[in-house]
Structure 1
Amino acid sequence: MIRISRRNLLVSSAALAAGAGLGLGRAAAQSDVTATLKLQTFGGDAELAGINSAIGRFNKAYPNVTVEVSIDPISTGWGDYVTKVLGQFTSGSAADVYGTAIETFQAFSARGLFLPLNDFVAANSGFSDFAPSLFEQGSYKGNINYIPIGWNNIMINYNRDLFDKAGVAYPARGWTWEQFRETAKALTVKNGSGNVSQFGYEVPNQNFFIQPWFFSNGTGVLNADWTASNMLDPKVAETLQFLYDLIHVDGVSPIPGAETLDNQFMAGQVAMISRGQWIVQNAKKNNVNMDIAIPPMKEREATVIGFGAYAIAKSAPNADLAKALVLELTSEETQREQGERGGGVPGRKSAASSEAFLAFPPSAFLYYETLPFTTAVPSPANFQEVEKIFIRHYTAMMSGQESIADGTKTADAELNESFARLKQQLGG
């Protein structure tokens, strides 16, 4: 049974298992239990391929269990995914297992949607292959609700051919904002009419992609514990001004619009973009001679981290089966396949150390080297509101429709109003 729609792919695991030819997985013997599990998750081709393989292994142990997979590409942001999942629970159509990301953790956990998995983690020594910080960031009020999978930290992805053509040295560790600025200028090309035919950089249009600029300046949009706005910090305005100047003073980037410039980067029309490891799969497909660099620093070396994880709904009627499926979905085999295909940096260090994973881009080792100085993407329980408020004012400021002084002040007020509403909703 395969049913495909624009945003969802529904796959019968029984059909997948027939041709999988894979090992038994973590179960010791075949079970005759009959059931259906619903998996709601996210991603693209790399993630789906790894999920299908994991379900194939799961079905070697549970041949009579059908897993229905609905996969969301997150094309409109995590805030919309939160709204979608909350709607599923409200309507009584919740899945059994959810694949989600850190941006949603507090939004879901604060509402008590998922099972605590502390005992499950303690009983499976194989989880020690994950960085402990991932489980810490996947906890809420002492309960582990999320089992980590792949993660992404935003890096500067750059086209080495364009650097070579311009005679510009590849980025070095510890480069500064001003060095970045000069590099972006050198990589911007105009035609005889003065129109830009190649941009040096894409000033990002998405919340996750923007965060390293704030962190590297020792600031953030929210305060440290994600309970209030930090938009009035002068360093926030300084960061926004730097990005604005890249667009309007230096002319190295277009104004951020509704669409990202991934296609333009793949076509050699943009030299540098801020993205995570997920871009690798498209770079390979398009034969882009790409490498990565740590984002430039103002005050310190820094970048943002976001990661995916699996959770089990409290409403799941077959929690033990769901846990068995999660073991396969988070296994080294699954993580290795997804990482090598370009589905994110594997959460398991063993999978991220494979020769295939480290083969491309040439500096792939930097993904893990940045882990000690990453900061989690701000993800409060009202994330869907916070993201929309920030991006609305950010895009207005970057386009010049709103001054940075006015934009930061208005965004600060709206964000704090949102946090006040959240406090009331959660009985704080």
Structure 2
Amino acid sequence: MLRRTLLSLLAGVSVAALACVPAFAQSDETNTLRLMTFGGEAQLKATQDAVTRFNEKYPNVAVEVGIDPVGGGWGDFVSRVLQQYNAGEQYDIYHTATETLQSFAARNMFLPLDDFIAAHDTFDDFDQRLFELTAYKGKSYFIPSTWNNIMVNYNRALFEAAEVPFPTKEWTWEEFANAAQKLTVRDANGNVSQFGYEVPSFFFGLMPWFFSNDTSPITADWTASNMTDPKVKETLEYLYSLIHEYKVSPVPGQEGIENQFFAGQIAMISRGHWIVQNAVSSKLDMDVAVQPAKVNHNTVIGFGAYGISSKTTKAELAEALVLELLSPETQQAEGELGGAVPGRKSAAETAGFLAFPPSAQLYYETLPDTLAVPSPANFQEVDQIVMRYFTAMMAGEVTIDEGIAQADLELKRSFQRIARITQ
């Protein structure tokens, strides 16, 4: 469904309270809260159920839920939220993601939540590393909810048919390329009917290849370009070889890649836990593996987080809704419905969450080997610059040396601009 159509169907949905006899004192406060979340059906269902529980305590508070599928990426999402604020049409609560946090916090768009977090021991169930990643200049403006780390998702049946051993926790770039070649199937004319892998065409999915080579397109402190690092070139050359030398991947940027994976036409893709619900509905014999290593097995992490608008006039009411949105019930539902990985450790240890894929425990096991997706305050520009030149390099429209030089120049200019805003 097109993003515009989905938004028109879901934005402004009012979730009413269930008729029940509560076992606690109800509030008689009358008001309206507006919540913007993101994701698909699993996220929407868990959110609606959380709002229903909230309305058991606050029966006279209408909650308007908008959901954004973020089809155009987080840079586009940032632009839409900025437009909402400029037009005075902002929501009271936003469920957003790592890539946006500095962009929003640097512009004072959300309330600091340190006192709120400290006042509720319920947050002790969350991995503290997630809270560390939400900090901006020593303050927390967002509370983590669910998260994704990019894993190699693979079709077990295709591995078995090609007699390729399942990936181990120690596999390397070289072993990955060998497996991808054996998993690529061609007809008598040499046309590919089954690709071994899909080189990612989105910023978040691409980062593990740089991280596993101990590098990144921007510096570790997210303040400058790192495109001229020789390891960046080495990583780009490796991915280019998968496409053009080994011919195990389509050129990045094609439509319907995930559908091809679910249909058994691609053996491996790099994605997060968000594809589990579609894998289940497709009856795909899928499992997950760690990122192959050049230097290490590091992968990328990104997470959802709730923030309360600095322009809201209903901060305490918004806090009460956020507590329900982060409750154990909501966290367990989001994980078991096949959305992202729950921030609460207890919710990721249930039988329902661990039931699929077979190696579901790897999501939390690999958490120590994750690095946050680079998300500077100018993320929307960084995303566009890196991916524009990456796509051009992988398509052979520019050489890797030319793409690196041009991307480096544009990134330097972007960081100069954002420095004038945030200093």
1:314: Cα distance to partner? Answer: 1.0
Q: Residue 408 in 1 paired to residue 404 in 2?
A: yes
Q: Residue 7 in 1 paired to residue 15 in 2?
A: no
2:379 aligned partner:
383
What amino acid maps onto 2:399 in structure 1? Answer: S
What amino acid maps onto 2:18 in structure 1? Answer: A
1:317: Cα distance to partner? Answer: 1.1
- The answer as to whether partners of 1:13 and 1:55 remain within 8 angstroms in 2 is no
TM-score (normalised: structure 2): 0.97
Determine the C-alpha separation between the residues in 1 that align with 2:172 and 2:166: 13
1:142 aligned partner:
138
- The answer as to whether partners of 1:199 and 1:252 remain within 8 angstroms in 2 is yes
1:331 aligned partner:
327
SS of residue matched to 2:178: helix
Deviations 1:22-66 (A, max 9, x none): 977xxx520111111000111000000000000000000001111
CA-atom RMSD in angstroms = 1.4
What amino acid maps onto 1:361 in structure 2? Answer: P
SS of residue matched to 1:150: strand
1:407: Cα distance to partner? Answer: 0.5
What amino acid maps onto 2:11 in structure 1? Answer: L
1:13: Cα distance to partner? Answer: 4.4
TM-score (normalised: structure 1): 0.96
Distance of aligned partners of 1:34 and 1:294 in 2 relative to their CA distance in 1, 3 Å threshold: same
2:183 aligned partner:
187
Q: Residue 72 in 1 paired to residue 68 in 2?
A: yes
Determine the C-alpha separation between the residues in 2 that align with 1:280 and 1:22: 36
- The answer as to whether partners of 1:22 and 1:56 remain within 8 angstroms in 2 is no
Match of 2:225 among 224, 229, 236: 229
Q: Residue 162 in 1 paired to residue 158 in 2?
A: yes
What amino acid maps onto 1:211 in structure 2? Answer: M
SS of residue matched to 1:6: helix
Distance of aligned partners of 1:214 and 1:29 in 2 relative to their CA distance in 1, 3 Å threshold: same
Q: Residue 91 in 1 paired to residue 92 in 2?
A: no
Distance of aligned partners of 1:142 and 1:161 in 2 relative to their CA distance in 1, 3 Å threshold: same
Determine the C-alpha separation between the residues in 2 that align with 1:48 and 1:42: 8
- The answer as to whether partners of 1:115 and 1:312 remain within 8 angstroms in 2 is yes
Structure 1: unaligned runs, 5 residues or longer = none
Match of 1:306 among 298, 302, 307: 302
SS of residue matched to 1:7: helix
Determine the C-alpha separation between the residues in 1 that align with 2:232 and 2:11: 43
Deviations 1:66-102 (A, max 9, x none): 1111100011100000000011111101100000000
Determine the C-alpha separation between the residues in 1 that align with 2:152 and 2:11: 35
What amino acid maps onto 1:82 in structure 2? Answer: V
1:143: Cα distance to partner? Answer: 1.4
- The answer as to whether partners of 2:18 and 2:56 remain within 8 angstroms in 1 is no
Deviations 1:321-353 (A, max 9, x none): 100000011111101001111110000001001
- The answer as to whether partners of 2:233 and 2:400 remain within 8 angstroms in 1 is yes
- The answer as to whether partners of 2:15 and 2:65 remain within 8 angstroms in 1 is no
What amino acid maps onto 1:279 in structure 2? Answer: I
Distance of aligned partners of 1:277 and 1:14 in 2 relative to their CA distance in 1, 3 Å threshold: closer
Determine the C-alpha separation between the residues in 2 that align with 1:89 and 1:136: 27
Match of 1:207 among 203, 208, 212: 203
Q: Residue 252 in 1 paired to residue 221 in 2?
A: no
Distance of aligned partners of 1:199 and 1:404 in 2 relative to their CA distance in 1, 3 Å threshold: same
Q: Residue 30 in 1 paired to residue 26 in 2?
A: yes
SS of residue matched to 1:304: strand
Deviations 1:363-382 (A, max 9, x none): 00000000011000000000
| Residues 51-66 of structure 1 mapped to structure 2, 5 A cutoff | 51-66=47-62
1:10: Cα distance to partner? Answer: 3.1
Determine the C-alpha separation between the residues in 1 that align with 2:36 and 2:254: 26
1:193: Cα distance to partner? Answer: 1.8
Q: Residue 220 in 1 paired to residue 221 in 2?
A: no
Determine the C-alpha separation between the residues in 2 that align with 1:7 and 1:166: 42
Q: Which moved more, 1:289-298 or 1:130-139?
A: 130-139
Determine the C-alpha separation between the residues in 1 that align with 2:99 and 2:306: 13
Q: Residue 49 in 1 paired to residue 45 in 2?
A: yes
- The answer as to whether partners of 1:14 and 1:65 remain within 8 angstroms in 2 is no
Q: Which moved more, 1:380-389 or 1:252-261?
A: 252-261
Structure 2: unaligned runs, 5 residues or longer = none
1:293 aligned partner:
289
Aligned residues: 419
1:258: Cα distance to partner? Answer: 4.7
Q: Residue 270 in 1 paired to residue 266 in 2?
A: yes
What amino acid maps onto 2:6 in structure 1? Answer: R
What amino acid maps onto 1:250 in structure 2? Answer: Y
1:142: Cα distance to partner? Answer: 1.7
SS of residue matched to 1:18: coil
1:12: Cα distance to partner? Answer: 4.5
1:7: Cα distance to partner? Answer: 2.4
1:18: Cα distance to partner? Answer: 2.6
Q: Residue 321 in 1 paired to residue 317 in 2?
A: yes
Any runs of at least 4 consecutive aligned residues in structure 1 with deviations exceeding 6 A, and if so which? Answer: 21-24
